[in-house]
Structures are given as structure tokens and as C-alpha cells.
Amino acid sequence: MSPMVMLGRLLLAALCSGLIGYERETAQKSAGLRTHTLVGVGAAVFTVASITGFDGPDESRVAAQIVTGVGFLGAGAIFRDGQIVSGLTTAAGLWVVASLGMAAGSGAYWLAGIGTAVTLGTLYGLQAVDAAILRRKAKVRRQLQVHVSDVTKLEGLLKFIHRLDPNAEQLDFKRVGKGEGVMVVSCDRDDVMRMSEMLASHRAVKKVNELSPLLWPQNKGDSTGR
């Protein structure tokens, strides 16, 4: 394999994985443009090295180890805090860019290009689907912003919320200080006042306010179950 062919394959891997990383970067995720690009290029380098440096079944053995290694890397991007799980989409993105890097490194240029297009279509296209679902829910649901004073009591607070409204959903969560956080939950539009008063009385809650639909979390790509 000539140096120019190697360079072309690595540049294609960088382009494909960089496009995925750009979407994650604009979504303000922990693993962004540089991380995704490095994973894609690294997978391509391993693939090219296995083709040029080994003969026979050793080529596929290196590719199999890439899959395993990226699986462990993706697991590091997943965070769990009680019942709240985040980073699933980012971890899946790292897994995908590794496969794109392997495709580019092996010379399957069309596969790398089509895989990138399908992945971007999934990431951007499903945002529109999520927005449509949110608009549909808005007809019967509202969102409350709950300021949590002690995140160690978060699991008990979630159980309390589900006792008040079995259909309530935890839509977003972020830490805002030492031991504190802000959670967004859904509730029935006819039950906003009761839910607000009951939640405000909980010992782990500082205050509760209803969110305007304009402030509803739009990017749920890394929330629970995604």
C-alpha cells in the first residue's frame, strides 16, 4: 500500500468521524469533535497496520480487538447517578466512528461514506422526531423545574414524584453546585399546582417552578434510555 493511499484512508476516517464528533460537540456532550475524530483515525490506523503488517487471519484479529477496545472506551462515557443515566448516545457515537474508521482504513470508502450519512441522518433527523413528540405531549403535559438541595436524596425524590404521578417522567438533570442539582420532570397540565406544592414540601427540594415551553429541554439524546 502506497503512502498516498494510506493518507487518503486516514483523512477519510478523520472526515467521517469528525462530522459525527461535530454533532456531539454542538450538543455540548463530554466527548466531542476531537475525541470522535481521534477514535476514528485510531481505528483506521490499526486497520491499515493490520493489512500491511500481518498476513492471513491476523488481519481480522486486530479488527476484532478494535471493537472490544472501543466498547470499553464507550463505557467510560456513560455516567449513572442513581436512576439517572447519561452518555448512552455519545458512547454509541464512539462505537460508530470506530466502525467508520475501520471501513475507511480497509478501503471500503463507500461503506464509510454511507455509514456517516446514515449516522448523521439518525442524529439530526431524530431530533425533529423528538421535537414532534414533545409538541404532542405539550397538549396534555407540563414541565416542572425542581431545584434539588441534596442529590443524595434524589432516588427517594423520584419515588415520591412517581407516587404523586405514576406517568411523571424525569426529562433532564444537571448538577449546579456542591451536592445540588436541577431536575426537569413532566406532569399533567391539570395537576401542575398540586405537584408544585407537594414537591416544594419535600425535604430535598429548595424550590419548584413551571417551565415555559420555550425553555423545555430540546436535546434529550443522552438522557435516560437513549
Span 26-34, average pLDDT: 78
Domains of the chain, residue spans: 3-132, 140-211
Instruction: Summarize pLDDT for 33-65 with one digit per residue, the tens.
Output: 888 899 899 989 988 888 887 766 666 677 777
Instruction: Summarize pLDDT for 120-145 with one digit per residue, the tens.
Output: 888 888 777 777 776 666 556 678 88
Helix segments in the chain, DSSP class H: 3-26, 33-53, 58-75, 88-106, 109-138, 154-164, 192-200
Distance between alpha carbon 129 and the CA centroid of its chain, in Å?
16
Query: 140-211: CATH homologous superfamily?
Result: BMC (bacterial microcompartment) domain (3.30.70.1710)
